[in-house]
Structure formats: C-alpha cells, structure tokens
C-alpha cells in the first residue's frame, strides 16, 4: 500500500524507530492475518461484481494494484463504522491492527495533501 509505505518512510525520515518498527510489524501481521485476507478477498470480489454489472469504463479497478489503491483510499472513510466482537481474541487483535493501518494511512494522506494545500494557498484559492 502506497500510503502505508509513505507512513513508514516518514517514520524512518523522522528517526522514529519505535513507530517504524510498529508499522513494519503491523504490515507483516496483516499480510498473515486470516481476517484481513478474507476482508481483502471480499473487497476484490465486490469490485469484480461491479465490473460485471456496471459499465466497465466507469470502474477504475482493473488490476490488483488498482484494488489495493482503492482499498487504501476509502478505508479511512469507513473505519469508524467497523464493528468487531471484542470478546474474540483474534478479532480484537485484528481491530488493533486495523486501527494502526487507519492512522498510518491518514497520516500519509495528510502529509501528501500539504503539497496541494501549499499550491492552492500560493494561488490565492485556499482560504486560510
């Protein structure tokens, strides 16, 4: 994931070894987590259904990489709606991993948006 990777690079550049190690650990754990694999598989299947039902030219997900980018782009907007039974240990751990993923994606997206904000500000289009 690009934004998650950006968050890791930012932690490295900021010499925040603790955060970098946390993000690296979360990345490895999510790649092995059955809940995450299942969630992503369902997301890919939904994208495939859209491609079959809708006008193919309106669907931007054409490759696995496109799906990963789309997942990462929209994940923060739905994170607050996620409900997991905290009594199930593996589900509780999964929620913790998703929380770190969510925070890392938001941090990277906010960091990247500063370039656009700066350009808009210089152009006089951004209200400060």
pLDDT in tens, the chain (128 residues): 888 888 999 999 999 999 999 999 999 999 999 989 999 899 888 887 877 776 655 566 667 788 888 888 899 989 988 887 767 777 888 888 999 999 999 999 888 888 888 899 889 888 76
Instruction: Tell me, yes or no, whether 64 lies in a domain.
Output: yes
Q: Whole domain around residue 40: which residue ranges?
A: 2-123
Confidence at residue 112, expressed as pLDDT on a 0 to 100 scale: 83
Confidence at residue 14, expressed as pLDDT on a 0 to 100 scale: 92
Confidence at residue 103, expressed as pLDDT on a 0 to 100 scale: 94
DSSP 80: G
pTM: 0.76
Instruction: Tell me, yes or no, whether 128 lies in a domain.
Output: no
Confidence at residue 114, expressed as pLDDT on a 0 to 100 scale: 87
Instruction: Tell me, yes or no, whether 73 lies in a domain.
Output: yes
Query: In the structure encoding, which two tokens stand for residue 15, read together?
Result: 């010499």
Domains: count for the chain: 1
Measured distance CA(52)–CA(63) in Å, rounded: 14
Confidence at residue 127, expressed as pLDDT on a 0 to 100 scale: 75
């Amino acid at each position: 994931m690009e934004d998650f990777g950006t968050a890791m690079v930012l932690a490295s550049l900021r010499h925040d070894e603790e955060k970098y190690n946390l993000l690296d650990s979360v990345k490895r754990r999510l790649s092995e987590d059955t809940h995450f694999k299942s969630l992503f598989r369902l997301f890919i299947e939904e994208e495939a259904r859209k491609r079959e039902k809708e006008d193919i030219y309106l669907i931007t997900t054409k490759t696995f990489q496109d799906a990963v980018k789309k997942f990462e782009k929209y994940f923060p907007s739905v994170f607050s709606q996620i409900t997991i039974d905290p009594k199930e240990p593996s589900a509780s751990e999964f929620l913790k991993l998703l929380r770190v993923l969510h925070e890392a994606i938001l941090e990277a997206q906010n960091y990247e948006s500063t370039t656009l904000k700066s350009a808009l500000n210089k152009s006089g289009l951004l209200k400060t």
